[in-house]
Amino acid sequence: MASLTETSPPSRLLSVLRQIAGGLVTLAITLLGLLVVTFFIGRVVPIDPVLSIVGERATAAQYEAARLALGLDEPLWRQFLIYVGDAIQGDLGVSIRTRAPIAEEIARYFPATLELATLGTLIGVLVGVPAGVLAATRPGSIADQVVRLVGLMGYSMPVFWLGLIGLLVFYGHLGWVGGPGRLDPVYDMMMQFTLTQYTGAVLIDTALNGAWDAFANAVSHIILPAGILGYISMAYISRMTRSFMMNELGQEYITTARIKGMPERRVIWVHAMRNVLVPLITVIALSYAYLLEGAVLTETIFAWPGLGSYITDALFTADMPAVLGGTVVVGAVFVTLNMLSDILYRVVDPRARR
């Protein structure tokens, strides 16, 4: 007789579809809330968007024409509906500073941030997870103390200070890495006028074009900022990995596996890591989202033309449509990553699927 807890394949499929539908509804509601916040921020800031467009020397007729063109004569609720409808279609408005569509500018700047944050997260995971496991399996040892100290330093030292010291030592004094920017000027000109830009990510595009000199130059420029972001990510991931692993190593199933004579490497990296991986997915996703939205200082110090620099420049020039458009994109990325981590959580952990 089949167990009462067993479910048929159609029932499991229906359950998965319900979970996906629920996640999409939650995502839509969260994004709608984000649009509500950004819309009202744009209305309460002490900056006149019409005056920013037409200038202080515009006549009353020019001012009124621009006001009507922006739809500011409509009731507030209708302005919000227009704003949401445009955002759904990918229209985030026009930049006051450049007079270009904000969505197009973000599409041009965002790949640089995505490339930097992705490489930083990879460094953080590849170093942080083994370091956390090493510290957890040898509590109180020198290795444990070193991992905890390095993690504490990563939490304590400001990003801008790390960036400035890194540039001073590795670029200015030792000359091991490239300077600010994504490429040297000669390779930047090559990238713009000679090479085909497939993705906007310099490392990928130079590799796809077979321009290995430009690829090496791009690596020399990205390795320092990505390493700094990776260090910050590693500090967080190693600490959480250590905590999760120490909790799992104290469980009864680990003791049973050791009593049965199972090799310690298999006990740690197969049995314990299988359960550690469940909460660790959320930690890595949050770290990645933090690097995507919080790399403003790093991008500013290294003159990295990413989304953080774009929002900062727009803020300094009172270009509120660009600031709010960038905020919407950052928020949407953060929410989407959270949803994807929840989906992976359910894939890895059968208990969550039930």
pLDDT of residue 350: 59
Q: Are 292 and 306 in contact (CB under 8 A)?
A: no
DSSP3 helix / strand / coil % (the chain, rounded to 5): 75, 0, 20
Q: What is the pLDDT of residue 123?
A: 93
What are the residue ranges in the chain where pLDDT is below 50? Answer: 1-6
**Cβ-contact 238, 127 below 8 angstroms:** yes
For the chain, what is the radius of gyration of the CA atoms?
A: 25
Cα of first residue to Cα of last residue in the chain, in angstroms, is 21
Rounded Cα distance, 204 and 183, in Å:
13
CB 211 within 8 A of CB 195: yes
pLDDT at 130: 93
Cα separation, 135 vs 145, in Å, equals: 8
Judge whether 302 and 296 are in contact, CB under 8 Å.
no
Taking the C-alpha atoms of residue 232 and residue 244, their distance in angstroms, rounded to an integer, is 19
What residue type is assigned to position 210 of the chain? G
For residue 286, what is the enclosing H or E element? Answer: helix 273-294
**Per-residue model confidence (pLDDT) at position 4:** 44
Please tell me the predicted confidence (pLDDT) of residue 128.
92
Beta carbons within 10 angstroms of residue 55's beta carbon: 10
pLDDT of residue 3: 45
Instruction: Please give the C-alpha separations between residue 210 and each of 17, 190, 217, 222, 232, in angstroms, as whole numbers.
Output: 43, 13, 13, 19, 32
What global pTM score does this model have?
Answer: 0.80
Tell me if 237 sits within 8 A of 128, measured CB to CB.
yes
CB atoms within 10 A of CB 39: 19
Angle at 268 between CA 340 and CA 347, to 5 degrees: 20
pLDDT of residue 173: 87
Which CATH code is given to the segment(s) 104-353?
1.10.3720.10
